[in-house]
Chain A
Amino acid sequence: MLRFVLRRLIVMIPLVLLVLTITFFMINLAPGSPFSRQRRLPPEIEANLNAKYGFDQPRMVQYGRFMARIFGFVYDPQTGHYTWHPYPDFGDSTKYVDRRVNDIIKEALPVSTVLGLTAYQIALFVGLALGILSSLRQNSWLDYLTMSVAVFGVSVPNFVLGPLLVIIFSLTLYWFPAARMEWAFEWGNFRIPTLRSLFLPAITLSAIYIAYIARMTRSGMLETLRQDYIRTARAKGLPEWRVVVGHALRGGLLPVVSFTGPALADLLAGTIVVETIFSVPGLGRYFIDAANNRDYFLLLGITAFFAIALMILNLLVDIAYAYLDPRIKYR
C-alpha cells in the first residue's frame, strides 16, 4: 500500500506539469490578450505591458520561463539571470497588478476551503442520513420526501436557490446577512468566518451534493441490503444499526466515495456562482476573473492547485476503496 501511495504521489508531479502545459497552450489559443480592453490601448502602451510580463517573447521562451518558475527559477528581464527560491512562483497577476499569483492563492484558498468543507459536511450528513433512511423504508413517505429534496436540489440551480434563501432569511426574517463573510477571526491569511455568515452560502452550495449523495446512498444501500451476507448478519442476531452501519453502508458507500473525489476538489478550489452571489473572497472569483481577463499566470496557478487537490483526493478515494472493500488490492 505504501509503495502504491508513494508511486501515485511521484506520478503526480509530471501529471500536474502536463496539465499546466496543456492549459498554457490552450489559453494561448483563446482569442484576446490580457490587455485587450473595451477601451483599446494604444499599441505602444500594449507593447510596454507585453514587455513587462514577457509576452513579447516567442511562445516557447515564455513556456520555458514559466516552467522554470514552477521549479522556483525566476527570470529577471533586467539582469537576464535566474534567481532561485524553494517554492513554485507563478509570477504576477496581469489583472490585479499590485499582487502576485502566489499571494492571491494563499489568501483566497483558505476561504474557499472553509466554505467548501462546511458545505460538503452538511451534504454528507444530510445526504447520508436521507439516503440510509429512505433505503430502509423503501417507497414510504420518507423515501419520497428524500426524492423530493433531491429533485429540488438538482433542478433548482444555485443561482436561484441562493437569492431565494436570501429573500427569505435575510431580507424578510433578518436572520442571516444577505451576503459577505463576517470574520470571527482574522490573522494574516488565516481567517475564520462566523457560522452566521457561512450558513446561507454553505446551504446553497450543499443542495446539489445532498441530492447526489442521498440518491446514490439509497441505491447503493438497496443493493447491499439484499446481499446474503446482510441476511447472515441479521440472522446472527446483530443489532439492526450495526448491520446497517457496519455492513450495508460499507458496501453501499462506494459510489458516494467515488463521487467525493472530484466533487470535493471542485468545492475546495472555490465555486464561482455561490462565491459571487454571497460575495465570498474565495478562489472561485479569481478563477472566473482570470479566465475572463486572460490573466494567464493566475489561471495557471489556480489550475495547478486544482489539479493537485483533485489528484490527492482521488488518491484518498482509492485508498478508501481498499478500506471499504478488502478484496480491492493495489500493487
Chain B
Amino acid sequence: MRVHARKSFALALLLALVATACNSNSQYFGKTAPPAAAELVYDNNAEPESLDPAKVSSATSFQLMEALFDGLTKYHPKTLEPMAGIATHYETNADSTRYTFYLRGHPNPRGTKLANTDTMREDYEAGRSAEDFSHGHHAPPDNTPARWSDGTIVTANDFVYSWRRAVDPETAADYANLVYYVKNAEEINEGKVRLVDRASGKICKDPSTGEDVVTTAKEIEADAHLSAMTRGCDVVKFMPEDLGVRAIDDFTLEVEMRAPTAFFLKISYLPIYSPVPRKAIEAARERGLESSWTQPENIVTSGAFLLKTWRPYDRIVIVKNPNYYEADTVSLDKITFLPITDPTTNVNLYKSGAADFMLSNRIPQPFIPTLREKKDFLIAPAFDAYLPRINTKRPPFDNVLVRYALNMSIDKKALTDFLGSGELPGRGVVPPLEGYDAPQNLIVTVAGKSYDVLAFDPSGARELLAQAGFKDGIGRDGRRLNVELMIYADEREKQIAEVVQEQWRNNLRVDVALVSQELKVFLKTQNDLQYNSVAQINWIGDYIDPNTFLDLFESDSANNATGWADPKYDALVTEANSETDAAARFKKLAECEKYLLKAMPVIPLYYATNVYLQKPYVRGFYPTLNDSHTYKYVWVDRNWKENVEEKQLAER
C-alpha cells in the first residue's frame, strides 16, 4: 500500500527531473518559434479594473490604456522622454504656468516640436539608437488631424470635456490628484466653494488674512465670520467648467496651471489626461449605464489599437486601428492580453509558448537560478525601493540608535544575492537615478566613536544597541529586546522577512517575531501606527523623480506611516523643489535624503528590479524604469535567429 504511494511519488519525481533536464540545455526558456502572423500575446498578470482612462489605477490597466488611447503626449519606448501624441507642438510661458498645445490638424503649429517617429528614424540613421522603431516609416504631416476609431476628428474640445470629467467628483477618479496641477482641479474635485463679490464678480478676500476665500460649504456654515461675508458675496461652487483648460480653436488647447509646473510634459502622457469619446460615453449614459461605454461593442478609441474582445479573466484582444494617424507604423495586427495571476502559471504559459512576453516580478524564487542563465530573461532597474517602516512612536524604536542598529545589522548584500534578480542593496530611500547623487554613507558619532549608519556593520550595530540600553540585546529590565516584523500575506514578502529576521537575531541577539497579515489589515495597522516595531513594505515611484520618494516622509504625507514628522524636513523639501535649475535641485534633494536618513524612520533595504520574460522574436519592447511601454512600435522578428547571429558577429 505504502509502496503504491512511493511509486507515484517516484514517478512524479522522475518526470519532474526529466522536465528540469529539458530546461537546462537551451539558451532560451521554452519555445522560440515565432508566430506566423503579426500577432503577440502579452501576459498582463492581472485583470484590469477598468478600461476608462479616467478611472484606471493599476499598471495592468495602464498597459492597455497606452495601446487604446493616445494622450496629449506619449513617451519614448526606451528612454521615456516625451514624444508627440495628439499634440505635435507646445509652447509655455516663462514660469511654466501656462501651456499651449497644438494638436494634429492645426494648420500652422508654433513652439517646440515634440519628437516623433521621424526623430526615431533619424536617431537610428545617425547611430544614436540601436533600433529603428520607425521601421523606415515617416510620421504623418502635422496638419493631418488625429481621428477617433469611428472616423471623427479628435479636437481640443475633446480634451476639455475629458479633463473636466476626470476632475468631476461624480466621476470619482482614483488618480484625480494627478490633474491637481491644473488650475482649480483640486477645488473642483474636492467640491469646494468660493465667495464671489456680487458687485465686482471677483473672489472675496478674507479681511483678516487678505486671501481669497476658497473653502467648503460646511466651513462657511460653521464659521460665523465667513457666514457674515455671505451678505455681500455669493457662495459659488467650483464646477468642472472652472477647470483651467480651454479650447482656443479645434486644434489649440490652452492649459493654465495652478503653480509653476516645469515637469508637466513628464506627466501629460498619463491616461487620466487622455481624451475620452464624449459621444460614446453619453450614449452609454442614455442607455442607463455610463460605465458600459468601455465594452467592446460601445468603445471608441484614439490609440493605435481597437478593443475587439474583453472577456474578463480570460483575455482582452486588441487589433490595429485603421483610423490611427500613423497606422502604417503600427506593426502588430493583434495583441492578446492575458490576466494570469498565478506566478507559476505565468512561467508555464511563457515556456509553452502560449505567451510571448510579460512582466514577471513575482516569479517564484526557485526558478530564478535557472532563468538567470537564459537570454530571454531580462532584468532592468525599477523605480521601486523596499522601505520597511519603523514605528518611531513606540519605545525603544523612538530611539534613533536602535533604528540605526536595525539598519546596520542587515547584510543586504546577502539578501539581494538570495533574491538574485539584479536587486541592489539599499543605501538610501531613492533608487539609483541618472544625475541624482544619492548619499552613499552617513557618518554619525556616538559616544566618541564614528559609525557609518548606512553600511553593514554588525559589531557597530551591537555597540549602538548597547548605547541605547540593550547590551547583547538585553534591556535594562533584563528582558531581551523583541522586534516584531509585520508583513502582508505573500510568499515573497515572507521569504524576505525570514532573511531579515535571521540577520537581526544573529547580529543583534534580539528576538524577532514575524507577523503575517492579510494585505488590507496590514495597511490599516500600518497607517494607524498600530504596529509594534517594523512594517515591511515597498514603494514604487509615481513619476521618475526623487521627490516621489522624499515627499513620502513629509509630515502631511498620507503614506508616511512611521510617526516621524519634522517641519524642518518639510521645509527643506519644499525649498529644494522650488529650485528651477535641475542639477541644483537634485543636489538639494540629496541633502534632504541625507537629513531623512539621519533620522532613519525607514530601513533602506533594497532597490527592486523589473524582470521580463520576452521571446527573442519580440522586438521594439524594452524594459523601462516604470514598466511603461509603447505597443505601436512592437514587432515580430521572424528572422531573429539570423539577426542575433549577425549582431554577435558585428560585436566581434
Contacts and interface: CB of A to CB of B under 8 A. Distances in A.
Interface of A: 30-33, 36-45, 48-49, 51-52, 92, 95-100, 104, 107-108, 144-145, 147-148, 151-152, 163-164, 166-168, 170-172, 174, 177-181, 276-282, 285-286, 289, 292-294
A174 to B, nearest CB: 8
Contacts of A108: 312-313
Given A31-B524, A32-B521, A38-B523, A281 B313 contact: yes
B174 to A, nearest CB: 7
Interface string B313-338: 11100000000000000000000001
Contacts of B12: 164, 168
B348 A97 contact: no
A179 B348 contact: yes
A108 B47 CA distance: 14
B52 interface: yes
Given A48-B176, A144-B1, 19 more contacts: A31-B520, A32-B523, A40-B523, A42-B558, A44-B190, A45-B177, A45-B189, A97-B49, A98-B50, A98-B292, A100-B289, A152-B8, A163-B348, A172-B22, A177-B352, A177-B354, A279-B341, A281-B313, A292-B519
Interface centre among A38, A43, A166 (most CB of B within 10 A): A38
Contacts of B177: 42, 45
B169 interface: yes
Contacts of A179: 340, 342, 345, 348-349, 354
B169 A171 contact: no
B230 interface: no
Nearest to B175: A45
Interface stretch (B13-21, B69-77, B400-408): B13-21
A36 B344 CA distance: 28
A163 to B, nearest CB: 6
B609 interface: no
Contacts, number: 164
B518 interface: yes
A246 B321 CA distance: 65
Interface in B490-532: 518-521, 523-525, 527
Contacts of B170: 48, 52
Contacts of A107: 312
A294 B521 CA distance: 11
B312 A104 contact: yes
The 9 closest A-B pairs by CB, nearest first: A32-B520, A281-B313, A148-B4, A52-B172, A281-B314, A178-B348, A48-B172, A44-B190, A40-B558
Nearest to B190: A44
24 contacts: A32-B519, A44-B189, A45-B189, A48-B176, A49-B172, A51-B169, A97-B49, A97-B291, A98-B291, A98-B292, A98-B295, A100-B291, A164-B12, A167-B16, A172-B15, A172-B18, A174-B352, A179-B340, A279-B313, A279-B339, A281-B314, A282-B313, A286-B313, A292-B518
B239 interface: no
Interface string B29-58: 000000000000000000101111001010
A204 B518 CA distance: 27
B94 interface: no
Interface centre among A52, A92, A100, A279 (most CB of B within 10 A): A279
B521 A276 contact: no
Nearest to A35: B174
A178 B49 contact: no
Given A98-B291, A178-B354, A276-B342, A292 B16 contact: no
Contacts of B568: none
Interface centre among A98, A147, A276, A277 (most CB of B within 10 A): A98
Contacts of B525: 31
B520 A163 contact: no
A48 B186 CA distance: 12
Contacts of A279: 313, 338-342, 345, 349
A292 to B, nearest CB: 7
